[in-house]
Amino acid sequence: MTELPAVVTAYATHRSPDLFTPDASVTDEGRTHTGRTEVAAWLERSSSEWTYTTERTGSARLDDDHWTVTEHLEGDFPGGVVDLVHRFSLRDGLIGQLVIEPVVAHVTGETAAP
């Protein structure tokens, strides 16, 4: 698999708001969270709401500042299994934008229901 930038690898293991730019945005489940305070709240909620395992199944470098990571998740969330694509836009060595969506939405351009 593609070797990822340090900040993307750190996100996979630590999921800290310090990995994001002060004005970063995260879009997940059809909702956008902007700024470190909202991103921190999203990180806290998303890590405590469900129990799940993740396995990285793919990654790609689009250019130095744009990367995709595909993960397979299994857990106690509705549906129990999902494949997600994480689209990272990096700025100054930090995450400036992160968009997370089901693989089918990424491939077809469809949006997931909230």
pLDDT for 65 beyond 90: yes
Q: Can you give the pLDDT at residue 106?
A: 52
Instruction: List domains and CATH numbers for the chain.
Output: 6-104 (3.10.450.50)
Return d(Cα 39, Cα 111) in angstroms, integer: 21
Rounded mean pLDDT, 50-69: 95
Which pLDDT tens digit goes with each residue over 72-107? 999 999 999 999 999 999 999 999 999 999 997 555
pTM of the model: 0.87
Which pLDDT tens digit goes with each residue over 30-54? 999 999 999 999 999 988 888 999 9
Which pLDDT tens digit goes with each residue over 16-32? 999 999 999 999 999 99
Residues 6+ apart with CB under 8 A from 66: 87, 88, 89, 90
